[in-house]
Amino acid sequence: DTAVSQTPKYLVTQMGNDKSIKCEQNLGHDTMYWYKQDSKKFLKIMFSYNNKELIINETVPNRFSPKSPDKAHLNLHINSLELGDSAVYFCASSQAGLAGVGEQFFGPGTRLTVL
C-alpha cells in the first residue's frame, strides 16, 4: 500500500564506490523527482522525470544520474561517491508536472553515509 517506496532505507559505503538507490511509485503519477537533504536540513531538488524525459536538472555533479526504466520507477545512480554526498535522499512523485498544481508524494528517504 506504500505510495512511494525507496530502497534501501540506509546505505553505508566507502568513498569512491558506485551505488544506486531505487524508487517506485504505485500512484500512476506522470512525474517523479529526486531531492537531497543535507545535514543542515536544506532540501534541494536534484532531478525530475516526466514521461521518461528529464525536465529539471539542477546543478548537481554528473556523478549523479537518474534512470527511469518505466513511469513507475526513477532510480538514482551515484558514481565515485564522495564524503559530501552523505545526506538523506528523497524520492517523490506527482500527477502533474511542476506547473504549480498537484501535490508531491514523498518516499521515506534513504540515508546515505559515505565513509
Partner 1 sequence: DAKTTQPNSMESNEEEPVHLPCNHSTISGTDYIHWYRQLPSQGPEYVIHGLTSNVNNRMASLAIAEDRKSSTLILHRATLRDAAVYYCILIKIQGAQKLVFGQGTRLTINP
d(C-alpha 83, C-alpha 15), whole Å = 7
Nearer to partner 1, 89 or 114 (CB): 89
Minimum CB separation of residue 93 from partner 1 in Å reads 11
As given in the structure block, the three cell numbers for residue 4 are 512511494
Nearer to partner 1, 76 or 92 (CB): 92
Neighbours of 3 (CB within 10 A): 13
Residues that bind partner 1 (CB under 8 A): 4, 41-45, 55-56, 58, 90, 92, 97-101, 103-109
Minimum CB separation of residue 80 from partner 1 in Å reads 26
Nearer to partner 1, 45 or 60 (CB): 45
Minimum CB separation of residue 15 from partner 1 in Å reads 26
State phi, psi for 22 to the nearest 5 degrees: -100, 150
| Helices assigned H by DSSP within 1-115 | none
Nearer to partner 1, 18 or 58 (CB): 58
Minimum CB separation of residue 77 from partner 1 in Å reads 20
Three-class secondary structure assignment of 50-78: ECCEEEEECCCCCCEEEEEEECCEEEEEE
